[in-house]
Structure 1
């Protein structure tokens, strides 16, 4: 039996039924000229606006940008005080060390020591503790600048 071979019904000998595998082919019109040609010929045209299709979604903003523009709170990190930097400079000068010498004693970079002395560093308690031990001067608490009282020797 071929694809379009007629089948006859038992009840009506004059009825012809044609069976085929494929229905009408519907093309997706992708170019503007193809859409215009279909409109001129009276063919069916369905238009849909796709949102965010084909965009790079990993860099999109989920927050409302107007709300972000209206935000007035300024966020910034706490910095060390300038008085701490002066105390560090004085203690370093009494030991006749350079910033590089202090950085070597603390196992830190010279830039870190410079940032603390200029008041631009974000306070880190571990780094301050290293500098206190190296300089022998308190850099934290109420009595900044006082000699560091060494605790009892550990057994």
Structure 2
């Protein structure tokens, strides 16, 4: 090996990286890459959702004006009293009633305390075992509409 004053002067080529995704979103960076001769792939995005095309402002107004309370109906006080009195008339405990309808005793407790969400299937099981008619909301009756009557 000769360690003299000679050096290795081979040619080295350095290439630029392709623009990253952040630069690809910038139109000026895309144009610069095209002028530099880099291969650029562009894709046109189309908004297909009509609500997205309207923008967030109308949605925000709708939400602001919305007065609905999104709560589940609970067992009414009349229904829980009706269940409890029918159960006591049959001289059953909550656990015995639960066993007869193949449910957990905790469920009967929730119905009688008014914490449960009324389930028509469970109410029909209890109605059959207790021998009474149990309705989800016994006090709520639909008003009858007279022929030709228009409601606003």
TM-score (norm 2): 0.48
TM-score (norm 1): 0.47
Higher RCO (Cα < 8 Å, 6 or more apart): 2
Structure that is richer in helix per residue: 2
